[in-house]
Amino acid sequence: MLSKEGIVLLPSYQPEETLVNLSRGLALEGFFVLVVDDGSGEKYSDIFNKCKQYATVIGYKKNQGKGHAIKYGYKYCLDNLKDYKYVVTADGDGQHRIDDIVRIADRVKQKNVSIIGVRKFDVKVPIKSKLGNMLSKFNQSLVTARYMHDNQCGLRAFPYSILPDMIEIFGSRYEYEMNVLTYLQIKELPFECLRIQTIYENNNSGSHFRPFQDTLRINSSILLYGLINIVMFIALAISNYFVNKYVDFSLPINLEISTTMCFLVYLVLMVILKLIIFRPKYPGKLILRVILYELLKFIAILVSVTLFTRVLSLHISLAYTLCYVLTLLPRYYLVKGIGLVYDANISE
d(CA 101, CA 157): 9
Of 172, 195, 224, the residue that ends a domain is: 224
- Of 6-15, 186-195, 205-214, 329-338, least confident by mean pLDDT is 205-214
Residue 93, CB half-sphere, CA atoms under 13 Å: how many? 20
Q: What is the mean pLDDT of residues 172-188?
A: 84
Contact (Cβ atoms closer than 8 angstroms) between residue 339 and residue 144? no
| Percent of all residues in the chain with a pLDDT value above 70, rounded to a whole number | 80
| Domain identity same for 107 and 69 | yes
In tens, the pLDDT along 265-300 reads: 888 888 888 888 778 878 888 888 788 878 877 888
Give the C-alpha distances (Å, rounded to integers) separating 219 from 225, 257, 338.
Answer: 10, 36, 22
Q: Are residues 10 and 39 in the same domain?
A: yes
- Averaged confidence pLDDT in the chain: 80
Assess whether 133 and 242 both reside in one domain.
no
Residue 220 — very low, low, confident or very high, per pLDDT cuts 50/70/90? low
Both 42 and 165 in one domain: the answer is yes
Q: Are residues 215 and 323 in the same domain?
A: no
Query: For residue 81, how many other CB atoms are within 10 A of its CB?
Result: 14
Structural Rg of the chain based on CA atoms: 23
Higher pLDDT, 50 or 245: 50
User: What pLDDT is attached to residue 121?
Assistant: 63
List the CATH number of the domain containing 108: 3.90.550.10
Residue 1 belongs to a domain: no
Nearest in space to 88 (alpha carbons), one of 150, 142, 30: 30
209, 224, 239 - which closes a domain: 224
Q: Is 324 exposed, middle or buried (0-12, 13-18, 19+ CB in 10 A)?
A: middle
List CB contacts of 249: < 8 A, sequence separation 6 or more. Answer: 255
> Angle between the 127-144 and 175-186 helix axes, to the nearest 10 degrees?
30
Query: Are 218 and 255 in the same domain?
Result: no
**Is residue 219 in some structural domain?**
yes
Domain membership of residue 339 as a residue range: 227-347
* Count of structural domains, the chain: 2
Q: Say if residue 101's pLDDT is above 90.
A: yes
Lowest mean pLDDT among 124-133, 189-198, 213-222: 213-222
Strand partners, 193: 116, 346
Tell me the per-residue pLDDT of 63-92, one tens digit each, with 9 for 90 and over: 998 999 999 999 999 999 988 999 999 988
Together in a domain, 73 and 149: yes
Residue of higher predicted confidence among 184 and 202: 184
Q: What pLDDT does 76 receive?
A: 95
User: Could you give the CA distance from residue 170 to residue 183 in angstroms, rounded to a whole number?
Assistant: 10
94 backbone φψ class: left, alpha, beta (φ>0; ψ -120 to 50): left
Q: Indicate whether 273 and 311 sit together in one domain.
A: yes
pTM of the predicted model over 0.75: yes
Give the CB-side neighbour count of residue 172, counting CA atoms within 13 A. Answer: 6
105 pLDDT tier (thresholds 50, 70, 90): very high
pLDDT at 156: 94
What pLDDT shows up at residue 22? 93
204 plus 283 within the same structural domain: no
Q: What DSSP state is assigned to residue 151? A: S
CA–CA separation, 285 and 187 (whole Å): 10
The reply to whether 191 and 66 lie within a common domain is yes
284 and 273 in a common domain = yes
Is residue 189 one of the residues assigned to a domain? yes
Amino acid identity of residue 262, one-letter, is C
Query: With 70 as the cut, is the pLDDT of residue 216 above it?
Result: no
What band does 252 get if pLDDT is binned at 50, 70 and 90?
Answer: low
Are 220 and 234 within one domain?
no
Residue 1's pLDDT is what? 45
| Per-residue model confidence (pLDDT) at position 286 | 80
Q: Which range has the top average pLDDT, 110-114, 218-222, 227-231, 314-318?
A: 110-114
| Residue at 283 is within a domain | yes
Would you say residue 267 lies in a domain?
Answer: yes
Residue 302: pLDDT band (50, 70, 90) is: confident
Exposed/middle/buried for residue 342 (C-beta within 10 Å: 0-12, 13-18, 19+): middle
Q: Which of 171, 205, 224 is the last residue of a domain?
A: 224
Residue 27 lies in a domain: yes
Which of 271, 274, 285 has the alpha carbon at shortest distance from 188? 285
Is residue 167 classed exposed, middle or buried when 0-12, 13-18 and 19+ CB atoms within 10 A define those classes?
Answer: middle
The pLDDT, as a whole number, for residue 346 is 62
Determine the pLDDT at residue 343: 52
Strand order in the sheet with 114-119: 56-60, 32-38, 6-12, 86-89, 156-159, 114-119, 191-196, 346-347
CA distance linking residue 84 with residue 86, whole number of Å: 6
User: Residues 259, 260, 266, 271: what is their CA dihedral angle, to the nearest 10 degrees?
Assistant: 160
